[in-house]
């Protein structure tokens, strides 16, 4: 399943045509460290998540997993591990998933009839493995399912606009070899099957389902982050005057979240081109069409492929952001596909003189059981 932003589907014309300014002499300004905790059988799902070694707060400033954050599980033969599960109780049903994710995560799921005197009548046991041996160096994960977690991510830019949503489904597994260690596995097909068992009145598994909503936003340089959007900077930016240079050209473009005015400024004394481009939202001010949003310098466009991990890479999302700034205010990232397309077109204008650039990169993002995300250093602590 590809993750797609939910955005305005209207077809727009993004061609940019700059108009020369007759008053060229005028300047323009606009007002987790690893923590093993014994699992408590009766603990609610929220508490189970809190016990997970992936949800402890010290995760090296949310930069990367410490090398001890996962226990390496080694099985000489996957079939032996699957047989071990099958021998753990009376199997009511069994289902195999050979390609639960695009990169080859496989799962064997067993519904087990528990012996008399057990806390629940049934339990669900899984064996999960990945063909991609780069992920956590794990040969396999075996244990009981402790919960289902559905996370909805709402993506906001620094301007407060909601760019889109995407959803993930994951199940939590208590490692049989290390009781108390809870791992999240994100595979919608497997989660759907486990949920069908949980919702079947014939079975009593004690497995809870937790629905979470997380607000995330892009950062200027490091991909998505959990820090909520705070658009209060926009008022300060409106009141902060900046001399961007000599105004050369202007253009009006339609984005997905409003109409923008683009202004090109010359900083090298040559009025035939511009080295700085600014953007600002257009609107009505006292009955006059004017730039009502803060005028901000365009620093660049970032094209990002975000790859999401739990036990395996389970999906990816492509998006673009516009990095903007203003001296004395700060640097910010906004998301508007219509504006991005217009800015790409502006780079082809004859007056454009390297006012900004486009860069592309891949971001690796760890999804924790709680739905929180963390930037992942793919080269450290995760690869052999």
Domain that holds residue 247: 19-31+230-363
Segment 159-167 shows an average pLDDT of: 93
286 and 369: one domain?
Answer: no
Tokens of 343: 């800015």
Segment 326-343 shows an average pLDDT of: 96
Cβ-in-10-Å burial (0-12, 13-18, 19+) of 42 comes to exposed
- Helix residue ranges per DSSP H, 157-229: 188-198
Q: Which residues pair with 218 in a beta bridge?
A: 224
Q: What is the per-residue pLDDT for 243?
A: 96
- The answer as to whether 4 is a domain residue is no
- The answer as to whether 1 is a domain residue is no
Contact (Cβ atoms closer than 8 angstroms) between residue 282 and residue 261: yes
Highest average pLDDT, of 10-24, 74-88, 296-310, 312-326, comes from: 296-310
Q: What is the per-residue pLDDT for 333?
A: 97
Q: Which residues, at least 6 apart from 76, have a Cβ–Cβ distance to it below 8 Å?
A: none
- The answer as to whether 39 is a domain residue is no
Determine the length of the chain: 384
How many angstroms separate the CA atoms of 188 and 209, rounded? 14
Please give the tally of structural domains in the chain.
2
Q: What is the per-residue pLDDT for 7?
A: 31
171 and 135: one domain?
Answer: yes
- The answer as to whether 215 is a domain residue is yes
335 and 245: one domain?
Answer: yes
Q: Which residues, at least 6 apart from 13, have a Cβ–Cβ distance to it below 8 Å?
A: 254
Tokens of 27: 């300047």
Mean pLDDT of all residues belonging to the chain: 77
Q: pLDDT of 52-105, one tens digit each?
A: 544 333 333 333 322 223 322 333 334 454 455 445 558 999 999 887 665 567
Lowest mean pLDDT among 42-51, 311-320, 347-356: 42-51
- The answer as to whether 314 is a domain residue is yes
214 and 74: one domain?
Answer: yes
Going by DSSP bridges, is the β-strand pair 357-367/296-309 parallel, antiparallel, or unpaired? parallel
Segment 22-26 shows an average pLDDT of: 42
350 and 321: one domain?
Answer: yes
Segment 103-122 shows an average pLDDT of: 88
235 and 355: one domain?
Answer: yes
200 and 285: one domain?
Answer: no
Task: Please list, residue by residue across 209-230, b when 16 or more beta carbons sit within 10 angstroms of its beta carbon and e when fewer do.
Answer: bbebebebbbbbeebbbeeebe
- The answer as to whether 343 is a domain residue is yes
- The answer as to whether 133 is a domain residue is yes
- Contacts of 230-233 with CB under 8 Å at 24 or more apart are 230/158, 231/158, 231/159, 231/160, 233/158, 233/329, 233/330, 233/332
55 and 135: one domain?
Answer: yes
Q: pLDDT of 197-250, one tens digit each?
A: 999 999 999 999 999 999 999 999 888 999 888 999 999 999 999 999 999 999
218 and 320: one domain?
Answer: no
Which band of pLDDT confidence, cut at 50, 70 and 90, is reported for residue 47? low
For residue 291, pLDDT beyond 60: yes
Segment 266-282 shows an average pLDDT of: 95
242 and 354: one domain?
Answer: yes
Segment 351-372 shows an average pLDDT of: 91
250 and 156: one domain?
Answer: no
For residue 378, pLDDT beyond 60: no
- The answer as to whether 283 is a domain residue is yes
Tell me how far apart the 2 most distant CA atoms of the chain are, in Å.
89
134 and 266: one domain?
Answer: no
């Amino acid at each position: 399943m590809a993750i797609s932003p939910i955005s305005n589907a209207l077809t727009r014309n993004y061609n940019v045509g700059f108009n020369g300014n007759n008053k060229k002499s005028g300047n323009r300004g606009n007002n987790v460290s690893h923590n093993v905790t014994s699992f408590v059988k009766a603990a609610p799902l929220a508490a189970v998540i809190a016990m997970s070694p992936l949800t402890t707060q010290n995760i090296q400033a949310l930069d990367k997993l410490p090398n001890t954050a996962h226990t390496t599980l080694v099985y000489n033969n996957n079939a032996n591990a699957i047989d071990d599960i099958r021998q753990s109780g009376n199997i009511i049903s069994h289902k195999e998933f050979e390609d639960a994710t695009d990169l080859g995560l496989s799962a064997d799921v067993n519904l087990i009839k528990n012996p008399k005197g057990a806390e629940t009548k049934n339990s669900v046991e899984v064996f999960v493995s990945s063909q991609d041996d780069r992920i956590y160096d794990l040969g396999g994960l075996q244990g009981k399912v402790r919960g289902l977690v559905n996370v909805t991510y709402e993506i906001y830019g620094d301007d407060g606009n909601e760019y889109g949503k995407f959803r993930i489904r994951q199940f939590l597994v208590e490692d049989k070899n290390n009781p108390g260690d809870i791992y999240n596995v994100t595979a919608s097909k497997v989660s759907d099957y486990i949920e069908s068992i949980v919702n079947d009145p014939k079975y009593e598994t004690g497995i809870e389902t937790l629905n979470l909503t997380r607000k995330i936003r892009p950062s200027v340089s490091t991909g998505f982050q959990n820090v909520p959007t705070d658009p209060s900077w926009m008022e300060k930016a409106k009141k902060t005057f900046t001399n961007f240079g000599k105004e050369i050209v202007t253009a009006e473009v339609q984005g997905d979240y409003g109409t923008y005015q683009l202004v090109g400024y010359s900083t090298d004394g040559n009025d035939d081109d511009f080295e700085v481009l600014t953007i600002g939202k257009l609107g009505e001010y006292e009955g006059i069409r004017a730039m009502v949003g803060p005028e901000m310098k365009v620093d660049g466009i970032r094209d990002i492929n975000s790859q999401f991990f739990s036990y395996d890479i389970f999906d990816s999302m492509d998006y673009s952001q516009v990095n903007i700034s203003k001296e004395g205010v700060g640097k910010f990232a906004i998301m508007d596909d219509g504006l991005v397309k217009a800015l790409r077109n502006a780079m082809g204008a004859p007056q454009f003189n390297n006012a900004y650039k486009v860069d592309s990169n891949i971001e690796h993002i760890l999804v924790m059981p709680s739905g929180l995300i963390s930037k992942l250093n793919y080269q450290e602590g995760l690869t052999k």
